[in-house]
A = this chain, B = another copy of it.
Amino acid sequence: MEIIVKPIGTIHSPFKTKDDISTQRNADPRGFDSIRGTLEILPAHTEGLKDIDGFSHLILLFSFHKSREEKHLVRPPYETEERGVFSSRSPHRPNFIGMTVVRLHKTKENILEVSGIDMLDGTPILDIKPYITQDLKTDISLGWMDKD
């Protein structure tokens, strides 16, 4: 069973290559909060943006378009042990789909100004969803990522 998906737009980011993203920034849960970028939605999909400006945060689904290798075990930065890919946010995952929550600042026609950008310039957007109460979980355990 194969499912075909198509980009609905493109992310414009200050990160032109993966070397522009430091592992230090990656390790900091707030490391990308100040990073601004724009989402350029294809004109064919602009109508779907109606009412989006009332939401403070958006869930972006995107394609890790530079990833080629699918791995089941990955070694995250600063880690000595290999972790299962489904317990990581590694781009080297089956289906190469990424998910990031961004803050929405401004909407003008098919252009959305956002912050919290942690993906590369030119990343294809697969979906935009409003971040809602159901997505907010406070009593969370972080497994191997919990360093405290």
Contact = CB atoms under 8 A, between A and B. Distances in A.
A94 B127 contact: yes
A56 B140 contact: yes
A79 to B, nearest CB: 10
A88 B72 CA distance: 33
Contacts of A32: 134
Contacts of A133: 29, 140, 142
Q: How many chain copies?
A: 2
A53 B84 CA distance: 11
Interface size grouping (class) on chain A: 35 or more
Given A45-B94, A143-B52, A143-B55, A130 B88 contact: yes
Contacts of A55: 87, 140-143
Given A1-B124, A54-B87, A94 B8 contact: yes
A47 B82 CA distance: 11
Contacts of A138: 136
A94 B3 CA distance: 12
Given A50-B84, A57-B137, 17 more contacts: A2-B4, A3-B5, A5-B97, A47-B73, A47-B84, A48-B86, A49-B84, A49-B87, A50-B73, A51-B83, A52-B84, A52-B87, A54-B144, A56-B140, A93-B127, A97-B127, A135-B135
Interface of A: 1-8, 29, 32, 45, 47-57, 59, 61, 63, 72-73, 82-89, 93-97, 99-101, 103, 124, 126-146
